[in-house]
Structure 1
């Protein structure tokens, strides 16, 4: 939804690759992706006819959303640990074995990603 009558970057960006997605909130990316999916699959005729760009934009936005969620997930795991949550509690929230989460979060590669 445009802000104060001006279109937002996510509303006007031509998106064909994840690099084309402007830095915006994940929810904004999700709304734009949903519109492309709806047009591609013929679920919403009020959004206009589908174009060859729609499935590519939906795919690129999906990748950008996934990357954003994974980046936030690392921060949320760190916050949960700092707030005293156990690895078992964090693992349950992620529906993953505790050892997997703990090992992935405490690995040297993850330490560099922080």
Structure 2
């Protein structure tokens, strides 16, 4: 909730597809996803019906939608973070593991991103790629 007590767009959105997720911070999306997952888990633990998942599976769908939205947003942030890791001497193997990718996928993600940068930033970024 905002300081005015009004619900945020993310708190009231009906989430059935990734496009339904309003612009939100990754942390806020992760918190909402956790609430849906907790409701799903609560059903298994025998919590009262008002504290558990909806019978129609909407909590499961919302958790999936938010997971996808989080992955997309984090994916957009990966190349700049990869660059920082490379600048600090980390290996492609370390970067790939941390990003949940293969080394080839990590390199491809990074070089595709770097190719769109303006010179001389592009040259520096591609030099880091090795």
Structure 1 residues 98, 3: closer, same or farther in 2, change over 3 A?
same
TM-score by length of 2: 0.66
Is the alpha carbon distance of 1:41 and 1:112 closer, same or farther for their aligned partners in structure 2, counting shifts above 3 Å?
A: farther
Tell me the secondary structure at the aligned position of residue 6 of structure 1: coil
**Alpha-carbon distance between aligned partners in 2 of 1:61 and 1:21, rounded to the nearest angstrom:** 7
Partner Cα separation in structure 1 for residue 88 and residue 25 of structure 2: 26
Larger Rg: 2
User: Which of residues 91, 94, 101 in structure 2 aligns to 1:92?
Assistant: 94
Residue number in structure 2 paired with 1:65: 70
- Residue 85 of structure 1 and its aligned partner are, at CA, apart by 3.1
Q: Closer, same or farther in 2 for the Cα pair 1:76/1:15, shift >3 Å?
A: same
The residue correspondences of 1:1-114 to structure 2 (distance < 5 A) are 2-4=1-3, 5-42=5-42, 48-51=51-54, 52=56, 53-81=58-86, 84-86=87-89, 88=91, 91-95=93-97, 101-106=106-111, 109-111=112-114
Q: Give distance in 1, aligned partners of 2:13 and 2:95.
A: 34
Alignment partner, residue 122 of structure 2: none
TM-score by length of 1: 0.74
For structure 1, the 5+ residue unaligned runs are none
